[in-house]
A and B are shown apart, each in its own frame.
Chain A
Amino acid sequence: MASSTTTMITTEDLPALFHDVTPIPQDEGPHIVCRIDYPPEFTIAYDYFRALSAKDEWSERALQLTTLCLQFNPANYTVWHFRRKCMWALLMKEDKSIDLEAFLVNDLTLAAALGGENPKNYQIWYHRRAILEYVEQQTNKELFYTFCRRELDYTAEVFQEDSKNYHAWCFRQWILQTMKAPAIWQEEMDFSHQMIMDGDVRNNSAWNQRWLAAHRGQLTTPLALETAQSEADYALQGARIDPYNECPWRYLIAILKEQCRSSTMEEDKRTWLLQHYLDHAELVKEVLKEADKDPEACPNLSAALVDILEMKGDTEALTHAKQLMHYLEHDIDPIRARYWAFRSKTIEQALSLKSD
């Protein structure tokens, strides 16, 4: 059975396979625009598809037809939807003649093949998710985990081709969130660490993954102070590799911001934390000096200092932030001149409120 679903058919097989079906041509109307010059094989396949779809024939041959249709156009969401109808119907059959795992793995393989080495269409990725959802709902936890592991490996494979593939990262996050296995998050910390430190320290997708993993998937719960500090230290470690890189600086600021907004944060702890990381951020300038670069001309570093100083919020800090912003606006980050001018104004307002 599994073998027949993997059999690829061609347009030539269609008349025999669907001898009892009358193809339905596309309703194009007399004055249509945006008309595509369909290749004849495409038209034949889709005419049969319309016929089967019209009578809700969720059969094995219908499944084979969808494969052919998707080879012509893997972005046809209507065909994918119909394919899933066929799959679920076949799996529901009384005789249980289908090897579920082989059957579903076959479809994962097909989706991968249709997407090529760097799959970027929504339908292909949604299909993988739908299959995993099916396994989660219809089978046991063990099989579900097997599928999840397999799919985590698959995303890692896709990252070798494109380490920033958005769909693959989203899918990976969904798997981790759905597995609900606490131990998985530590593994994911290691995974993102490898992607960042051994791969590309500028891979923002990997930094984003680290944020999720550090939060154990609980995005609305701030990190414990201890964890936050170790993440902030990690960010600084990244910043020292290349201070011009935006990712570690934004990661640092986000960690600090989250702590400062947390209701459990005491005032003196907060002040200490900000001062500590302000000092350490300043120290990164040494890396630039050693590399013979101007330590004051690194926009992402200066922007991070501005943010920490603004969070500190005392008059001295705000005055310092204002000076840095002036330099960013006029000298080192002029493309964002309007933005820095706007932020300067905000700081000036805060300062004038203090002097009142």
Chain B
Amino acid sequence: MTIVRKIDQQTVMPFLKRTESTRQQQRTEMECQPFFVNLATLPPSQLDHLRQSGLLMSKEVPADKEDLDICLLVERHIQYLSPVFQPTLRSQLRPSFVTLDSSRSWMIYWTLHACDLLDYKTTADERQAMVQTLQLFFHPRDGGFGGGPGQLPHAATTYAAVMALAILASHERHAKDSLKNDKLQPSSSHSALHLLQQVRKPLYQWMLTLADEQGRVRMHHDGEIDVRATYCCIAVLSLLQLPLPVSWANYVSACQTWEGGFGGEPGAEAHGGYTYCAIAALQLMESTHLIDLPALCDYVSRRQLALEGGFSGRSNKLVDGCYSFWQGGALAVVSDLLLSNDGSSGTKTLTALFDTAMLERYILLCAQDIHGGLRDKPSKNRDFYHSCYNLSGLSIAQQYRGIASDTEDESVVFSRHAAVAATHPCYNIRNEHVQYFKSIQWEE
């Protein structure tokens, strides 16, 4: 019988001196702890309740074979996320979303990539509408994508737009393979691949103008400098087979701090988001020799919280579902480098130096909203961003369990009913999309 694992491992964070940090930590532990009950000890009525909610399989099974693996609420997550990228006559987003009006390409990427991890198949209508929308966000004079029509091009929204288009291009290809007679098949001028071909060179020219002589990259002209900007540009350039300005790597390595992680700029506190951007960018630039890799490994592995199982963004900060990917993804890249994952051993067993089952546990139990969508922590509301990065982190955890992919070993597999597709740790789109993009021959 499968139970919620490691139930005896209820290690609260110990402290001698009570401070604001310990108060917040205690509050968070108390809000997570109720989710970590041993399901085998629950009365049948409560198990029925969990079955009705969808968190447990509803199929009746003999008592001795009771299936107590927590389910990923795939259909409900899709129901929450997919309306964002579906073309309708009325608006998909309530008026309060005006504060995300400069992040619309992000919202498309977050929801599309999250659904993609759940194996959602986009329709030709959806793809065409997304391509047309993203095309409107492209700034023809300067050469990058903005957060909405007419907005200045921005490195982060460009990353989001290009990754979304990459997912769409890959879907288009599969649709063409399987639906030869699809009369809805988009004309080539509305295809994602066509748009990428068009913007590829202008993107490159524009990105070069964001950097200064020291290889520091701005988010946009007259915008902030930090390693997010470097990462966003490098990920796009690399995916589109454009030349990588490897001299940018020096600035990135200067952002490694005394703790071993990376801050947004030299001197700034080590932080999960920037740490991910830094290591992923360095890996894509093949420049990881510039940094102290063991120190980075120390730092990121220390960010996993003993009771919650999820990651925090910084030392002595609280667990948050989005760091499942930022820290988990960073540690996946680091582990690939330190353990020579994939390759020398000849097996396809990937291991990351964190407790992948405990991370899965946090995501499935604490981060899932029962109505669909995922969140930072139980006391927070679901949103598209946290849905995307919880599911991306779940994907990393599942890929890096350190065992062959078909095993059901309970010590490493938290649940057999929560499988998501494999995301690439450096680009954060599915591995097969990255493979496809490596095979493309661009028109020069």
Contacts and interface: CB of A to CB of B under 8 A. Distances in A.
A164 interface: yes
A170 B268 contact: yes
Contacts of A53: 150
A250 B315 contact: yes
A72 interface: yes
A334 B358 CA distance: 11
A76 interface: yes
A163 B267 CA distance: 17
A26 B16 contact: no
Given A204-B315, A246-B316, A335-B355, A32 B20 contact: no
Interface stretch (B26-34, B125-133, B415-423): B125-133
A27 to B, nearest CB: 5
A183 B305 CA distance: 40
Interface stretch (B80-88, B234-242, B391-399): B80-88
A116 interface: no
A336 B92 CA distance: 43
Contact of A73 (B99, B133, B258): B99
A243 B222 CA distance: 45
The size bracket of the interface on B is: 35 or more
A335 B14 CA distance: 15
B199 to A, nearest CB: 17
B91 A201 contact: no
Interface string A91-126: 000000000000000000000000000000010011
The size bracket of the interface on A is: 35 or more
Interface string B234-272: 000000000000000000001001110001111111110
Nearest to B307: A335
B222 A130 contact: yes
A215 to B, nearest CB: 9
| Majority DSSP secondary structure for residues of B touching A | loop
Given A33-B130, A36-B98, A75-B103, A335 B309 contact: yes
A55 interface: no
A74 to B, nearest CB: 8
A244 B20 contact: no
A287 B86 contact: no
B219 A122 contact: yes
B358 A335 contact: yes
A32 B87 contact: yes
Nearest to A307: B298
A169 interface: yes
A34 B16 contact: no
B148 interface: yes
Which residue, B95, B224, B258, has most C-beta atoms of chain A within 10 A? B258
Nearest to A202: B21
A200 interface: yes
Nearest to A251: B258
Interface in A177-214: 177, 199-205, 208, 211-212
A36 B354 CA distance: 39
A302 interface: no
B221 A81 contact: yes
B102 A76 contact: yes
A125 B133 CA distance: 30
Given A81-B152, A250-B315, A335-B305, A35 B92 contact: yes
B208 interface: no
Given A28-B149, A164-B317, A337-B355, A34 B108 contact: yes
Nearest to B308: A335
A78 B355 contact: no
Contacts of A337: 355
B20 A163 contact: yes
A36 B259 contact: no
A122 B102 CA distance: 12
A250 B345 CA distance: 34
Interface in B300-343: 301-302, 304-306, 309, 314-317, 338-339
A74 B302 CA distance: 35
A202 B221 contact: no
A59 interface: no
Contacts of B309: 335
A200 B18 CA distance: 9
Interface string A18-49: 00000000111111111111110010000000
Contact of B339 (A334, A335, A342): A342
A73 B267 contact: no
Given A35-B93, A204-B314, A242-B17, A338 B402 contact: yes
B16 A37 contact: no
B269 A77 contact: no
Contacts of A154: none
B351 interface: yes
Interface in A58-83: 72-78, 81
Which residue, B13, B92, B224, B351, has most C-beta atoms of chain A within 10 A? B224
Nearest to B339: A342
Contacts of B133: 29, 31-34
Contacts of A344: none
Contacts of A291: 16
Nearest to B92: A35
21 contacts: A31-B125, A32-B132, A33-B108, A34-B92, A36-B98, A77-B220, A122-B219, A164-B317, A166-B271, A166-B314, A169-B269, A177-B267, A200-B20, A200-B21, A204-B316, A245-B17, A250-B258, A335-B358, A336-B301, A336-B355, A342-B353
Given A78-B152, A201-B19, 6 more contacts: A77-B147, A84-B222, A173-B267, A287-B16, A293-B14, A336-B354
The 4 closest A-B pairs by CB, nearest first: A254-B258, A202-B21, A37-B91, A204-B315
